Amino acid sequence: MAIYDGRQAAQDHLLEVTKACAVAASKAPQITGRLELKMEILTNEDLEPMIDVLETLGKTSAFQLHDALAFRAYAKEGILPPVLLVGADLIEPVLWNCGACGFPTCGKFLQYVKKNKGVGIGAYGPSCLWKIIDFGIAADYACACAAMHRVEARILFSMGAVSMFLNRLEGCTFVLGLPVGPIGMHRWFDRHSWAKALNAEQRKMTQMGGAPNLGMAFSGGGKAILKTKTRWWEEPVFLSAARDEKYEEAFANGQAEVYQKIMEYAGVAPSDGVDE
């Protein structure tokens, strides 16, 4: 017989729940029956390279910072959740010639892709619409499985994108990351780590930078008003498009730093940045 610490036992059990989520994704009903999922579960120190790159991206991206702060906080607390990576090749069409992609036939689509395969922010395209639908269903089933186990989980584009930067799930054109846990209330929605790392003004501006549409008033008149304060209608602040050379420079430097980290983790560049 043994006595277990309840919270630690619950945290340890998250790995088993993550495995169940992988099973759920693989058993999700498919419209095409031709989606080949690739999955991987990362835990503890194996997540460090991804968190590191995510933090670097967060220096110039509010979207990435949002998740980086949470992962780093959980790592410091010793409650880093396992992360299920789910990916697939969404470019290869199902050969139905349905025209949903905008091309008259799958053959025309493939001819275009062969010459114009794009590299997006953490994904490649264009993609077969039917494969996208099936992939979404698989991701939904993984999330639903976590919910059925009463475990909080939030599917993240950011972790999927970083995993592709670090060449995980080779052959996939799109990857999503599902952190399963940690235990506690609303870990991925309340984001208590923000309150500790940023003051109220920084949180407000970071959120507006990451999703400005959520901080906008009705813009039907043609001028978008930002809700920058409690009584935002008094002395309104309007959204406008402008070039920010200082940010452009910071962004370019940030991208270079991310590239350097990726090369280091790939083992093709020394960690001190000096050629050996």
Q: Averaged over 14-41, what is the pLDDT? A: 97
All residues at 6 or more sequence positions from 78 whose CB lies less than 8 Å from its CB, including other chains: none
Quick one: which of 135, 104, 140, 54 has its CA closest to 125?
Answer: 135
pLDDT surpassing 70 at residue 275: no
Token pair listed for 247 = 């940010």
Token pair listed for 198 = 């940023």
Q: Averaged over 140-157, what is the pLDDT? A: 95
pLDDT surpassing 90 at residue 264: yes
Type of residue at 238: F
Q: Percentage of the chain surpassing pLDDT 90?
A: 66
Per-residue pLDDT tens over the stretch 64-90: 888 999 999 999 999 999 999 999 999
All residues at 6 or more sequence positions from 186 whose CB lies less than 8 Å from its CB, including other chains: 152
Note the pLDDT of residue 271.
58
Q: Averaged over 213-231, what is the pLDDT? A: 82
All residues at 6 or more sequence positions from 180 whose CB lies less than 8 Å from its CB, including other chains: 14, 17, 18, 21, 81, 82, 83, 84, 146, 151, 153
Would you kindly state where each structural domain of the chain is located, as residue ranges? 6-197
Note the pLDDT of residue 80.
95
CB 31 within 8 A of CB 18: no
Indicate the CATH number of 6-197 among 2.60.40, 3.55.50, 3.40.109, 3.90.870: 3.40.109
Per-residue pLDDT tens over the stretch 181-214: 998 888 888 777 777 777 887 777 777 777 777 8
Per-residue pLDDT tens over the stretch 102-144: 999 999 999 999 998 887 777 888 999 999 999 999 999 999 9
pLDDT surpassing 90 at residue 11: yes
